[in-house]
């Protein structure tokens, strides 16, 4: 049940370290839908939707990232949920 949606922005050493793949795996394991993408400013950004508990765990994983990553900051904002979304994709 998706009762919440967030946008997220992860800054630090987060590109070229399998961050998007890591994010996608965590989303699938938690039943979170949405997307993740590399941005030209060096950040990784995306949106995630799921239960409050699943999103809380998802954000905890994002704040650490894969072992090769070094996360310096993580921003998240509540946004409107989207109906009919299935899966979590890399854009």
Active site positions, annotated: 20, 38
Q: What are phi and psi of 58, to 5 degrees?
A: -60, -45
Token pair, residue 15, equals 């590109």
**Distance of alpha carbon 73 from alpha carbon 71, whole angstroms:** 6
- 3-class DSSP state for residue 59? helix
């Amino acid at each position: 049940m998706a009762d919440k949606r967030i946008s997220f922005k992860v800054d630090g050493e987060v590109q070229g370290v399998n961050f998007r793949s890591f994010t996608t795996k965590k989303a699938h394991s938690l039943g979170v839908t949405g997307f993740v993408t590399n941005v030209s400013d060096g950040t990784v950004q995306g949106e995630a939707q799921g239960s409050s508990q699943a999103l809380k765990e998802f954000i905890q994983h994002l704040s650490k990232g894969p072992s090769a990553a070094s996360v310096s900051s993580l921003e998240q904002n509540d946004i409107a949920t989207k109906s009919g979304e299935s899966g979590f994709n890399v854009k």
